[in-house]
Chain A
Amino acid sequence: MIELKSISKSYGNQTVFQDLNLTFQNGKTYTIIGQSGCGKSTIIRIISGLVEAESGSIYLNNSELTDSNKNLFRKKIGYVIQEGGLFPHLTAKQNIELQSKYFNYPLDEIQVRLNYLLTRTKFSYTLLDKYPSQLSGGEKQRVALMRALMMDPDILLLDEPLGALDPMIRSKLQTELKNIFSKLNKTVVLVTHDLNEAAFFADEIVLLNKGKIEQQDSVHNFFNKPQSEYVRKFISAQRGTAVK
């Protein structure tokens, strides 16, 4: 379980959050959605410790995130950054194994885990020795996902994981990714700007507006019982362009 309590954050004189409270339950998939600049990426950047909140606290399974235990937390968090963030000078395999090797995992366990992830993500063995620049967009995303899952974290954070892909591949990957999430049984927090994608993945949707939570609800309630005028407008605006 991830709890954010009274989080405040601003960049310069621009306030992102004021007293934000948010809870993510174990084993569920959440999608955070909102217009650009609403602070949706900042939430998962705060959880992963990339960004520090000015006040408030973050709890992971009831233990508080501090500067000193940041790196311990990170073993429990898998993070897929925008555009994958694969290291271009390392092969797919080196990218995936980097963290486990750094933390001195036994080599045979690394091998077992790698095989498991390859099967889960349907990633071909033969591509393991390729460099990121030799892989397609979809293949790169799978490598980024495997890298995030290598240490078997409790939590998986994804920041616009499919943002840079073309629509055909995107829809195929959405299905695969949802499949993987359902088998992993992890707490997943996915940030997207696309309501259809949010609805497709989510157990619960969190709609952010200017740093405030407009509605956090199940997909059904979100669409059928919008709690504010903003939610209604947001839904109808996105429906206008969506082809479903």
Chain B
Amino acid sequence: MKKHFLFISLILLFSCTGKIDEDNLVVGSKKFTESVILGNIINLTLEKNNIASTHKDQLGGTSILWNSLLKGEIDVYPEYTGTIIHEILHGNEIANFDSLKTALNKFGIGITDPLGFNNTYALGVNRKIASENNLQRISEINKFPKLKIGFTNEFMDRKDGWPGLRERYNLIHTDVAGLDHDLAYSALSSNSIDIMDVYTTDAEIEYYNIKLLEDDLNYFPEYLAVVLYRLDISDEAISLIKSLENNMSSNVMSKMNGEVKIKKRHESVVAAEFLNKFFQTNIKMSQPKWQDRVFKRTIEHLELVSISLILAILFSIPLGIIAYKNKKFGQLIIASVNILQTIPSLALLVFMIPLLGIGTIPAIAALFLYSLLPIVRNTYLGLNDIPGNLRESAEVLGLSNNYILTKIELPLAASSILTGIKTSSVINIGTATLGALIGAGGYGQPILTGIRLDSTMLILEGAIPAALLAMVVQYGFEYFEKFIVPKGLKV
């Protein structure tokens, strides 16, 4: 029985590792709308010229994308010159675009010329507050120490973000909240915060009527959009990517952002329209149907949950048995899986990236580790709770230890073990939604997109199926309990 499980899970594992073949180019994008649109444009450009490519969208922040590019997990992604100079190549002297190119080439990475627009940082203020206080420039905000500031988490830590800005302008504000970029807009419009960092091509600036403060000390560098690619991809692909150079104005980009964020149109549709208009192509993209999306996410989510859970069951039950048989070693096992459980799930996912890259495999590994504790603990407790006289009865009958374990102890502990598996699966299904952050897809994807686009419907599109799946699995196990837990324990 166990051998079959192992066999099936190995097949599943191989089937998901083999999904992306060698020739297929992988385009990555960060988890904000502009990056996703640019990712779609690159992907469609390659596809329409018959170069197989996939788009892994919303892969988190700069470090995930850059490291994935270096490792070859992705081949291409859109980036900004400011970010490359101040974040990625921080510490290197970059005098001009040519020296930037040379520095990147040393990593085996190529860079296109700028795509045509500058998406720099700016500080945005609620226009009403700005006009009431006659606030025009960044240097003036020190006059208003009570202004509530909310910055993107990435901006808070970036070398070209808040620390440098505070130094340049001698800002006195210390109470700064870190929050998600897309949530910051609604926070600003509801007066929860007064000042936020914006990207100058954000469509919300116009939509929410936000006043941009003048960077009077010229702090923010240029953030010219470019495309980074691995130098080992084909020349044909490189020249196609380069065809995008100098073709997008700030205005065009800002409009595309608005189409997606304000008008809620799909990134691929907006990207196709751009290519059709400026490159005279004829790509037909339609707004994906929600049924198709949910179906796709369900398959991805089931893949994450089932493989990680099956592997966890296969490892945890033996671990629980070892813990029960050998009390000293057992304490070590229980303590170790306990510690694993205390690592925040998001952190565990991110820890996996340097080891296993991005995508399904690291997500499965993290979920696997996360699912161990309830099963190990319940196996151990279930075995430990068997009354002493039953174990002795078995012993005096002269039965072997193996026979006692498989025919007496495990059946008696079955109910407890099953409860552990049930707990694990429910935790697993919930935690798997975070897998989307490292490119594993699943129900987390619509939740992530929903947060980005401020769309409750999209968030529910991920949250409701996840909750339903948890319930179905819960009831499924309760049904199977009838067959797994020996009848004699229930009469």
Binding site for B on A (CB under 8 A): 48-50, 70-72, 74-75, 77, 79, 81-83, 85-91, 98-99, 102-103, 131-134, 147
Q: A74-B396, A81-B392, A102-B397 are in contact. Are A134 and B491 (CB under 8 A)?
A: yes
**With A85-B389, A87-B408 as contacts: A99 and B397 at CB distance below 8 Å:** yes
Which of A48, A71, A82 contacts B389 (CB under 8 A)? A82
Please tell me if the beta carbons of B396 and A48 are within 8 angstroms of each other in the complex.
Answer: yes
Q: How far is the CB of B463 from chain A (nearest CB, A)?
A: 40
**Proximity string of chain B (377-391) to chain A, C-beta cutoff 8 Å, 1 when within and 0 when not:** 000000000000110
Number of B residues near A (Cβ < 8 Å) is 21
Extra contacts besides A82-B389, A87-B412, A89-B412 (9): CB < 8 Å: A49-B396, A81-B392, A86-B393, A87-B394, A88-B489, A89-B408, A98-B399, A102-B397, A131-B487
Does B288 interact with chain A (Cβ within 8 Å)?
A: no
Q: Pick from B392, B400, B407: contact of A50, CB below 8 A.
A: B392
Which residues from A are CB-within-8-Å of B412? 87-89
Known contacts A87-B408, A89-B411, A89-B412; is-contact A74 B397 (Cβ 8 Å): yes
A137 to chain B, nearest CB (A): 15
Query: Does B396 contact A87, Cβ atoms closer than 8 Å?
Result: no
Whether the pair A131, B397 counts as a contact (CB closer than 8 A) is no
Determine whether the beta carbon of B403 is less than 8 Å from that of A102: yes
User: Roughly how many angstroms separate A242 CA and B96 CA in the complex, as a whole number?
Assistant: 107
Cα(A86)–Cα(B389), bound, Å: 9
B488 within 8 A of A: yes
Q: A89-B486, A102-B403, A133-B488 are in contact. Are A83 and B389 (CB under 8 A)?
A: yes
Nearest A residue to B390 by beta-carbon distance?
A85
State whether A71 and B393 are in contact (beta carbons under 8 Å apart), knowing that A88-B412, A89-B411, A132-B488 are contacts in the complex: no
Q: Which B residues fall within an 8 A CB radius of A?
A: 389-390, 392-400, 403, 407-408, 411-412, 486-489, 491
In the bound complex, what is the Cα–Cα distance between A88 and B389 (angstroms)? 12
Highest count of chain B CB atoms <10 Å: which of A50, A83, A88, A91: A88
- The answer to whether A50 and B491 have CB atoms under 8 Å apart is no
Q: Given the known A-B contacts A75-B398, A102-B399, are A90 and B393 also in contact in the complex, defined by CB atoms under 8 Å?
A: no
Could you tell me if A71 and B488 are in contact, using CB atoms closer than 8 angstroms? no
Expressed in whole angstroms, the Cα–Cα distance for A17 and B411 within the complex equals 37
Our pick among A75, A87, A89, A102 for the contact of B393 (Cβ within 8 Å) is: A87
Q: What are the 9 tightest A-B residue pairs by CB atom distance, in nearest-first order? A: A85-B393, A89-B486, A74-B398, A131-B488, A79-B396, A89-B488, A71-B398, A85-B389, A99-B397
| CA of A83 to CA of B407, assembled, Å | 21
Q: Can you list 30 pairs linking A and B with CB atoms under 8 Å apart?
A: A49-B395, A49-B396, A50-B392, A50-B395, A72-B398, A74-B396, A74-B398, A75-B398, A77-B396, A79-B396, A81-B393, A81-B396, A85-B390, A87-B390, A87-B408, A88-B390, A89-B411, A89-B412, A89-B487, A89-B489, A90-B486, A90-B488, A98-B407, A99-B398, A99-B399, A102-B397, A132-B488, A133-B488, A134-B491, A147-B397
CA distance A83 to B387 in the complex (A): 11
Give the shortest distance, in Å, between A18 (CB) and chain B (any CB): 25
In the complex, chain B residues whose CB is within 8 Å of the CB of A99: 397-399
Distance in angstroms between the alpha carbons of A239 and B399 in the assembled complex: 42
Chain A nearest CB: distance from B398 CB in Å? Answer: 4
Across the interface, do A85 and B392 meet the contact criterion of CB distance under 8 Å?
yes
**Residues of chain A within 8 A of B486, CB atoms compared:** 89-90
